[in-house]
Structure 1
């Protein structure tokens, strides 16, 4: 299933949490920690296992097509690292996990044999999600999966709550975070 539009209307959004990660293997466990925290904050821990599994698959796919998959990447690979953006959107009765990357190749379900070691990620997403798809963004694509929330998410406070950015616009890079990552990488070498 693919879709060429955002899978929700902005007026129905109750909560939004998003974070950008360097497109490297460390983004997978780090994104799980981020999503676990967001779901806890939203009181939506009953769907946590499914959300974390789906996000792991989508982030892994994003890294595979746009990032560095080597456990010990070469320096020139690190200099070319892009970002993977993960957004969790809380709707009245569901959550949407979105993962952006810089590839414009749409995701494809693969037919794999019983003894294949990989290629089942989107099949898992399809089984766990209520619906899923992808859409093009400026500079790449977003792959999303929607899951029913059990029970429905609480109401968002009306005063002082920051609204999420437009859903078709990936979050901008956090310059301070990127400097800290670069400093850490420099120190490691």
Structure 2
């Protein structure tokens, strides 16, 4: 365990989005959709891939320790379902992914052989996050990972000269050119 509290408690928080999920196999993909939308909404898409990969590992671990729901629950079982909570916190230079589960056991890095099919999740989190850790909560723990917002790549001229500023996406298709091509195809047919 690396830290006892969340890393944003002493920093300026720009945004927060949170989702609670039943500990089911679908929780990982659902959390990815949720985080993709949140990152898009907060214009943090530059780090989407890293955040989604980190979150997938953390949610997978949380669902595993909470216990995967074996079958659809009956109405009277709904209040006793194991939940996993996912929170995305935006800071000025990074985002923090926090995942709560019912286990009070801290996460542990595992050293696994090349042939192992699993056990590398936290190693991946450690590589992608600037820092990560966990802390105990009432009824379980939260595991968090902070992912730095990378600055956009510098723009370059066609000759490779640095222009400064953010990289600009290549221009979209020329609408007038596409209309002329379509008109030419229509007359040819």
Range into which the TM-score falls when normalised by the shorter chain = 0.7 to 0.9
- Contact 2:11-2:91 at 8 Å conserved across structures: no
1:100-123, Cα deviation, whole Å (9 max, x unpaired): 011101000011010000000000
C-alpha distance in 2 between matches for 1:98 and 1:66: 15
CA distance in 2 between partners of 1:105 and 1:29 (Å)? 24
Which runs of no fewer than 5 residues in structure 1 stay unpaired? 153-189
Partner of 2:187: none
Matched residues in 2 for 1:61 and 1:39: separation? Answer: 22
| TM-score normalised by structure 1 residue count | 0.74
Query: For 1:31-67, what per-residue CA distance to the aligned partner results, in whole angstroms no more than 9, with x for missing partners?
Result: 0000000000010101000000000000000011112
Per the alignment, do residues 74 and 27 of structure 1 end up closer, same or farther by CA in structure 2, a change over 3 Å counting?
closer
Q: 2:72, 2:98 → 1: CA distance?
A: 29
Output the TM-score relative to the length of structure 2. 0.74
Point out the structure with the larger strand share. Answer: 2
Q: Is the 8 A contact 1:99 1:142 kept in 2?
A: yes
1:27 corresponds to which residue? 27
DSSP-derived class of the 1:12 partner: coil
SS of equivalent to 2:106 = coil
1:84 is displaced (CA, Å) by 0.3
Larger radius of gyration: 2
Give the Cα separation in 1 of the matches to 2:138 and 2:118.
29
Number of paired residues?
149
The alignment partner of 1:13 has SS state of coil
Q: Is the contact made by 1:96 and 1:144 (CA closer than 8 Å) also made in structure 2?
A: yes
Q: Which consecutive unaligned segments of at least 5 residues does structure 2 have?
A: 153-189
State the 4+ residue runs in structure 1 displaced beyond 2 angstroms. 73-76, 78-81
For 1:58, the equivalent position in structure 2 comes to: 58
